[in-house]
Amino acid sequence: MDGLEKGLNTSLEKGITESSVEERERVFGTHYKAPPEKTPFCELLLGALDDFMLKILIGCAIFQLIIEMSTATAEELPHAWIEGFAILLAVAVVSLVGAGTDFKKEGQFLKQ
């Protein structure tokens, strides 16, 4: 223990001396860690949209819109967009709610 105490320039009874603090910070660093920053909402939204199932739903909704609008008769044309739009709206709601929940949780976590 004596060799370790001498090698670390410390005392088992008193700890480190004030004169060695600057030298220790120069050699080992201050070990200061910056507080975490809050993730922007847009980044959380893009993360929520990165779900494989949501990507499939978006693709199907666009495909539905294209097919329905191109094959609809004159009478059906005013209503042909509704199903595809409903799918896109559902994806938007799920993504926004998920991102909003994550944003709120992260804000509460960073307050503590």
Mean pLDDT for the chain? 90
The stretch 92-103 carries a mean pLDDT of 96
pTM tops 0.75: no
DSSP three-state, residue 15:
strand
CB atoms within 10 A of CB 48: 19
CB atoms within 10 A of CB 108: 9
- At 16-28, the pLDDT tens digits run 877 788 888 888 8
Domain residue extents for the chain: 1-33, 41-111
How far is 47 from 106, CA to CA, in rounded Å?
A: 14
The sign one gets for the Cα dihedral 20, 23, 29, 35 is positive
